Structure 1
Amino acid sequence: MQNSDSTEVDMVNASQDTFQTEVIEKSRSAPVLVDFWAPWCGPCRMLGPLLEKLEQEHQGKWQLVKVNTDEEPALAGAYNVSGIPHCVLFSGGEPVDQFTGALPEHMLQEFLSRHIKDENVLKLELLASSDPIAAVRQILEMPSIDQGLSPVLWNGVKEMLRQGNTDDLKEALEAISSADLVNEKSALLNVLSEEPSPEEVQQLGKLFGSEKEIRDVLDQFMESLERNKGKQEKDRLIASFHLLGQSHPLVAEYRKKMATILF
């Protein structure tokens, strides 16, 4: 239904015949939230207007699709809907998250924020694809850092190491630490947060070079670990694995060598 307010979004109701087109296919370009509901359900009548309000506020970043479970029991069964309201978020053609019950607005915002990227995040991701360090510099000027910018910051740090650029490195690492964006890369942060010398930065930068250069660096770190099995020596190797990426062919090889030394 649409009224005279040009910002109101047309309500989409999906059936078994239209679900593939309205939900699966459309979720490949933007997230789709499916609201399984029924006319007799009181909590559904509370949740529905909130979802419609948020869809309008987010202006096309995601789409709301309604499924009446009385009319479409097969769809409800296909997605294991045992109670309503029940919402399933689709992205990339797959269900990726869900919740049951009439959540309050702040919890709905939190749920959506895990999957809907802010416009600033999208712009910075685009900039980072051509100039990772420029993207980091813009992030460092922001009053607060969105969790979604963590990959942009880390990629910028990698590029600084690749170039041997220490000018912005310390500030970027402080931002990562203060914004609680460490996660599994804590070993890398431990190695770099002690203000590494230009020589150490150059050494880590060689991890982006030829296979021979990478092996030379990893062999040096492995020799250090053999001499002293301390935390710093372990962190250097773990940090190197994160910089190379877990799918890099040398990572599995050197992880085995590291395990042999330690155990």
Structure 2
Amino acid sequence: MTEINVTPMIKDSSDQDFMADVVEMSQTTPVVVDFWAPWCGPCKQLMPALERAVKGAGGAVKMVKINIDENPGVAGQLGVRSIPAVFAFKDGKPVDGFMGGQPESELAKFVGRLSGASDPKAEAEELAVRAKDSLAAGDPGGAAQDYAHALKLDPECAPALAGLARLYLDSGNEAQAAELIAAAPDAITDHPEINAVRSRLTLTAEPVADDATTELRAAVEANPDDLDARLNLAKALAASNQNAEAVEHLLYSIGKNRAYKNEAARLFLLTIFEAEGNQSPISIEGRRALSSILFA
């Protein structure tokens, strides 16, 4: 009788067997590695839920459990500082992972990405939408987490990349935002949301001192039809994210003389609209007012 060699779907492993159980095995079948310890309460909650998710993949994914008290070597090499820590290996390399507890729905997605049962791009889009909801609820930290996770799943998720860049801008880190936008993959470099952030970076590239803005305000008040002063004031306001007031000055200028300086006011106004995005009240009201002026 021929002996059948069946590799277990879920097994305990060690530092010594890691190469065979994880690195070599993942060349043909993705492997989830759960680093745990007997004293770790969250580990005991996560492990059975993770096992259920792996079993639900029907053999398309395997799972290895490593007790770090007895086997600290590989965990240390992977930089594990807290547990539970879970890594996904494919083609001999770690490709995904997380630390801490996760709801079963997220574990199913995690395993599904490895087995091909779930679409990383669709999941990234969902995370980007959830991040926007978090921002609306006043939770920028949660939004940043979701945006970063979305980009890990799909580096070409434009809403996530643009959203993360906007968070950098909102925190005053323009250099990091610019670096992120500059590194956008070619496939999304002209995406409307990427262009919006790029335009916002253009607006804030040259900050204007408060005293200079005050002088420009005084010049406009002294001579409302000084279109040079109005344009410069609008640029100063936009540089400090006061776009609503900047739009008012630009609309006034366009109403007085649309062609002034090769339509500089109108072109700068369009840059603000792009930076704000199509759904911004500033863009919506501003475009309506611009149409009234142009087609009166």
Q: Which range, TM-score by smaller chain?
A: 0.3 to 0.5
Higher radius of gyration, 1 or 2: 2
Larger relative CO (CA 8 A, sep 6+): 1 or 2? 1
